[in-house]
Structure 1
Amino acid sequence: MTDEANRAAFLEIQGRMIETTGKVKQVQNQMRNKEGEKKRAFLTLEELRQLPDDTNTYKSIGRTFVLEPKSILMNEQEQKLKDSESAIASLQSSKEYLEKLMAEVENNLKELLQQDPGLAHQIMSMTVV
């Protein structure tokens, strides 16, 4: 390959690497948010279970609190817990896929740099602006 073709290939691989890294970070943030939702639902369920069945319970809707039966609140929290768990499982599989993709891109980059040591030298001598 010519130097220009190698540079173009490097820039393409670098772009894919940056894009994939961004997607991995996004998935990790989504997983962290879902873990928080799951924990809140679990803790709320634990507190609701300790209450007698005839206790007045309230649901927060914005700034308003609405009287709801305990059973409805428990069902809602159980559903939130299940939804969070399924979302976390889905995000975990997405994260694993993206990590495999990242490893593939890294291997492509290593192969390119091994094929053209001059390109590796040029990259190392570049300054970041």
Structure 2
Amino acid sequence: MRSRTRCRRFPTAQAPCGDKMAAPVDLELKKAFTELQAKVIDTQQKVKLADIQIEQLSKTKKHAHLTDTEVMMLVDETRMYEGVGRMFILQSKGVIHNQLLEKQRIAEEKIKELEQKKSYLERSVKEAEDNIREMLMARRAQ
């Protein structure tokens, strides 16, 4: 059995003399990992925000669609009022219908934009992870 004496040069050292200490951390690799971690956290927050916005826009689109179907069932001569601030303006059925269709179209466009942004963010994180994997493989090959 080997006795665990302390090194004479470094009496407070935990490892006995002659044993190798842990290899120094590769600063470039450490920097890459911290950057990746920050990027992943930032991306996760942006993806959550995009999901919330997509959900809100989907509700807006659905609400406009349901309202439009109800409006279209009414007789053409029905008096319709649009709420503007604290007052109401008399509008025709066609104008209300066009406004609701426009609202649905805008919501759909914004949803598509947010989904594209979300997929781009997820792709960029995946690429960063792949780059670090390649860096690790290159280090191990050395």
Q: Are 1:14 and 2:43 an aligned pair?
A: no
Q: Percent identity?
A: 34
Give 2:85's aligned residue.
62
Aligned residues: 117
Larger Rg belongs to: 2
Give 1:27's aligned residue.
50
List gaps (5 residues or longer) in structure 2: 1-23
Q: Give the counterpart letter for 2:46 in structure 1.
A: K
What TM-score does the superposition give when structure 2 sets the normalisation length?
0.71
Residue 19 (structure 1) shift: 1.4
Q: Give the counterpart letter for 2:87 in structure 1.
A: T
Q: Give the counterpart letter for 1:75 in structure 2.
A: N
Residue 68 (structure 1) shift: 1.2
- Once residues 5 and 109 of structure 1 are traced to their aligned partners in structure 2, the CA distance between those partners, rounded to angstroms, is 11
- CA change 1:115–1:22 in 2 (3 A) is farther
List gaps (5 residues or longer) in structure 1: 118-129
Residues 42-85 of structure 1: CA deviation (Å, up to 9, x unaligned): 01100100100000111111232222111111110011111111
- Once residues 58 and 33 of structure 1 are traced to their aligned partners in structure 2, the CA distance between those partners, rounded to angstroms, is 25
- Once residues 31 and 95 of structure 2 are traced to their aligned partners in structure 1, the CA distance between those partners, rounded to angstroms, is 59
What TM-score does the superposition give when structure 1 sets the normalisation length?
0.77
- Once residues 45 and 139 of structure 2 are traced to their aligned partners in structure 1, the CA distance between those partners, rounded to angstroms, is 28
- Once residues 138 and 40 of structure 2 are traced to their aligned partners in structure 1, the CA distance between those partners, rounded to angstroms, is 19
Give 1:51's aligned residue.
74
Q: Give the counterpart letter for 1:73 in structure 2.
A: I
Structure with bigger RCO (C-alpha 8 Å, 6+ apart): 1
Give 2:60's aligned residue.
37
- Once residues 32 and 114 of structure 2 are traced to their aligned partners in structure 1, the CA distance between those partners, rounded to angstroms, is 30
Give 1:84's aligned residue.
107
Q: Which structure has more helix as a fraction of its residues?
A: 1
- Once residues 59 and 132 of structure 2 are traced to their aligned partners in structure 1, the CA distance between those partners, rounded to angstroms, is 37
Residue 109 (structure 1) shift: 4.7
Q: Contact conserved, 1:59 with 1:65, CA < 8 A, in 2?
A: yes
